Structure 1
Amino acid sequence: MSKDMRKEGKLVKSSDILGNPGRGLMAGTIAFFAGYAAVALFGITVHSIAPLLHLTIVEIGWLVAIPLLTGSLLRIPFGALVDAVGGRRTIMIQLLAALIGMAGLILTLHLIYLNSLTASVGYALLMLSGAVAGIGISTFASGIAYVSYWFPQRRQGYALGTFAGVGNAAPGIFTAILPFALVSIGLIGSYIAWAIFLAIMILVFFLIGHDAYYFQLVRRGLLRSDAIDKAKALGEELVPSGSTARSLAIAARAWRTWPLTIMYLTSFGGFEALTEWLPTYWTKYLGISLVLAGILTGIVYSLLTALIRVPGGWWSDRWSGEMVAIVSYLILILGSVLFMTSHSLIAGIISEVVMAMGMGIANAAVFKMVPKYVPEAVGGATGWVGGLGAVGGLLIPPIMAYIAAVMGKPGYAYGFIIFVILGILSMILALILRSTSR
């Protein structure tokens, strides 16, 4: 940043341009970690909430799903919004909305304990507040775009792998912690502690988070063409389309967006699905306690899936996202077959570890390819791939539940056939991408 820049006859000093790639990665990761914790919102606490409102199994299912629903679908507009206004503003909107949702949950739970609400009203308010809190989950799409614009193509795997790997650790950590928090500080106390944590993370992001150079230059009055030139002179390779609608349209017209979406539905949608489903699998199929099921799901599965995404990004930089994706889906298929044939706790844990490795590495490989194939609309592509891909977290658990309902207890194991099918399809798509890679 050695040269000053002209801004309508005035100088834009290099000291006015804030941040750097490392700081951008740190800020984006902190924001995503805080927002993504909402995945675990009702998965564990629903066991404390359900008796208060006498909820049916269907009502419980919707309560668990609602944060994922808003968090998944809103990735599409929020991811594309980054291309228009930058990631900092977009992420702040998402995190503040999540905090408002948490406040709504705390107030609603307080009123339920005071018997000030009927069961139907209390349930409706929990659904509404959970939906708003779930907006924090959509920081994945905006965060991917935010971080992508800070880094060159050759380091996208490392940057996005680190961002998503650390951020994805949030559900695992919270799933493991929540059972103990519920015992020690109670349901409302757990939510208050969660809200305080979120508020602190919002403040940290506000203080250290800055948009990539292009957005800062445009905000200071430079014309788009001048901002692009100056940003590239400062080392920024990717620049946005400049419009939310245009970004989504460009990404939708790029045919490779859609294989990547299906592949991400398998690995990341599958990750979310198993974060929800595995506690049921462990307790209903193998008969272990809820606390142990929470540890196995949160620490062994969710945390491993998240953290292995970091080296998965490095491997994708070195051997290409396509090649790493092919290998990772093979591992995922192996884990699925092991689950289908497992009848003991040890065998189930081995299956879980293999599945976690395949899913985590695949997640990194897919998003290594997004900036490569849609460099002119990373925000839009991130929205489509991240948003629609995450819908797998909503679709897969009901399918596995239906198989269990039809087949009885063995169905909890045979339900993993869905991942064999999706894994084979995703591996074929990765082979197609590799054969047509430019």
Structure 2
Amino acid sequence: MGATQPTVTGSANRALIGATIGFFIGAGSVSLFGPTAHIFLKAMHLSPQQVGLLVAMPMLTGSLLRIPFGASVDRNGGRLPFLVLLIASVIGIAGLYWMLLTLYPNHLTEKYYPMLLTFGALAGCGIATFSVGIGQVSYWYSKKKQGWALAVFGGLGDSSPGFVVLILPAVIMTVGLWGGYLFSLAIIIVGIIIYYLMGLNAPYYQFYKRNHDTARATEEAKKYGQELFPTGGTWHTLLLSAKHWRTWPLVILYFTNFGGFLALTAWLPIFWQTYFHVGAFHSVVLTAVFSLIAAFIRVYGGKLSDEMGGEKTAVISLVVLLVGSVIMTFSSLLWLTIIGEILVGAGMGVNNAAVFKLVPHYVPDAVGGTAGWVGGLGCLGGFAIPPILGDIVALVGINGYALGFGIYILLSILCLLLVWLLYRTRENLTAHLSR
């Protein structure tokens, strides 16, 4: 009997490590242009609007692609779409390296701007691995451990932009602009190899690939502890999750906290230098502190979500975010604003973990589709919020740099109301699932 017992390759922890490393490598492209924007501005004589679009381009494609690729996990388990996205990112970064190697500095003119945007868009595909990894990891772990597992995946992966902000300028100063992108290319190739070796699909998908029998694959996977199972193909799970009204409060929560995190990662260097006249180096350090706090505390947020529940954790983190936003909006003291920044980063990081603890609870029959909507549309906050902050500055003047953080006060209050709404309807959801 032991000889015929179906076996599973890999383990939940191995898959988590592989997916986390893969996402960490892919997510770094969100900061691909931020630390180097001033170089392209000077070399290509770009307008502020062109620079803004260039910086946002990897974020835009990485956000939108999260939706279909996240949903595709329900069809194939995640491994294939994850690899496709990382390979697309390699092509984009390789293209940027080639452009800089052959054109910079004397021949890199404005006429190459569309090509620069195209390669930046491809490079941003790596960020979309987030929603794929969320689904892939969710299917490996039991519901009791998902909060911790997803927080490790998201938290450690999200730390990548902070490290890029610190490391890429140092590499460029040492070996030149093209060398910085060559370094990025080498890192992502190593990440692909590691993910290929470790990022295996959950038991259900391994069994289904062998016999193409859904019922049998489900039964065998249950013996290995798998609790969540897909209910259909890519478009089915997208439509199914879109019909769940509870998907959309989760999207807004993630728009505020993860999208807000990406927005501030891009905006804070400008804020510190312009409003408080902090030097370039110290503005980068302050931004990296915010980014890394938000990323690493997400791991603790996952543990807290498992122990306290996603709703309570979300409320606590949103209150912290609200307090930090109030401080940053009305403070004119550097040290107090730094405290506000730390509170905002901590609140966002913990809440990001809480949101994905809530995803499999509130939409258990379409986890991949929901992860796609939440991760994709939520990530768009990083693309949508900075222009609003810029408009406030244009309208109000220098004080608009601080008053712009009032956006996060409004979003925090809205999110608190949405968490309350989800909690109030929890019993109705339980009754529906039991039928």
Alpha-carbon distance change, 403 to 114 in structure 1, aligned in 2, over 3 angstroms: closer
Distance 1:381 1:47 in 2: 37
**1:429 lines up with 2:395 in the alignment:** no
- 1:254 positional shift: 1.2
Count of residue correspondences = 427
Distance 2:110 2:76 in 1: 41
- 1:345 positional shift: 2.3
Distance 1:282 1:358 in 2: 20
8 A contact 1:323–1:434 mirrored in 2: no
8 A contact 2:43–2:108 mirrored in 1: no
8 A contact 1:179–1:291 mirrored in 2: no
The aligned residue for residue 415 of structure 1 is: 404
Aligned mate of 2:187, from 171, 181, 197: 197
Aligned mate of 2:378, from 369, 389, 394: 389
State how 1:38-437 maps to structure 2 within 5 Å: 38-113=29-104, 115-116=106-107, 118-120=109-111, 122-298=112-288, 300-437=289-426
Question: What is the identity, as a one-letter code, of the residue corresponding to 2:404?
Answer: G
| 1:56-102 C-alpha deviation (Å, 9 max, x unpaired) | 10000000010000000100000011111221111110101100000
Identical pairs, percent: 45
Distance 1:90 1:12 in 2: 29
Alpha-carbon distance change, 421 to 215 in structure 1, aligned in 2, over 3 angstroms: same
Distance 1:192 1:54 in 2: 24
Question: What is the identity, as a one-letter code, of the residue corresponding to 1:113?
Answer: Y
**1:22 lines up with 2:13 in the alignment:** yes
| 1:346-387 C-alpha deviation (Å, 9 max, x unpaired) | 122111101011100110000100011112211100000110
Q: For 1:55, what is the secondary structure of its paired residue?
A: coil
- 1:3 positional shift: 5.2
Distance 1:25 1:117 in 2: 41
Distance 1:389 1:13 in 2: 39
Distance 2:2 2:27 in 1: 39
- Structure 2: unaligned runs, 5 residues or longer: 431-435
Alpha-carbon distance change, 117 to 357 in structure 1, aligned in 2, over 3 angstroms: closer
Question: What is the identity, as a one-letter code, of the residue corresponding to 1:102?
Answer: I
Q: For 1:235, what is the secondary structure of its paired residue?
A: coil
Q: For 1:236, what is the secondary structure of its paired residue?
A: coil
8 A contact 2:67–2:372 mirrored in 1: yes
8 A contact 1:339–1:416 mirrored in 2: yes
Alpha-carbon distance change, 179 to 344 in structure 1, aligned in 2, over 3 angstroms: farther
| 1:372-407 C-alpha deviation (Å, 9 max, x unpaired) | 111221110000011001111111111111111111
Distance 1:344 1:182 in 2: 33
| 1:237-270 C-alpha deviation (Å, 9 max, x unpaired) | 0111230011101111111101000111111110
Distance 1:369 1:117 in 2: 47
- 1:139 positional shift: 0.5
Question: What is the identity, as a one-letter code, of the residue corresponding to 1:345?
Answer: L
| 1:170-227 C-alpha deviation (Å, 9 max, x unpaired) | 0011111122222111111010001101101110111122100011111112401110
Distance 1:370 1:428 in 2: 17
- 1:342 positional shift: 1.9
The aligned residue for residue 8 of structure 1 is: none
- Which range moved further: 342-351 or 225-234? 342-351
Distance 1:156 1:331 in 2: 24
**TM-score calculated relative to the size of structure 1:** 0.95
Question: What is the identity, as a one-letter code, of the residue corresponding to 1:426?
Answer: C
Question: What is the identity, as a one-letter code, of the residue corresponding to 1:368?
Answer: K
CA RMSD of aligned residues (A): 1.3
Question: What is the identity, as a one-letter code, of the residue corresponding to 1:267?
Answer: N
- Structure 1: unaligned runs, 5 residues or longer: 5-10
Distance 2:22 2:40 in 1: 28
8 A contact 1:179–1:294 mirrored in 2: no
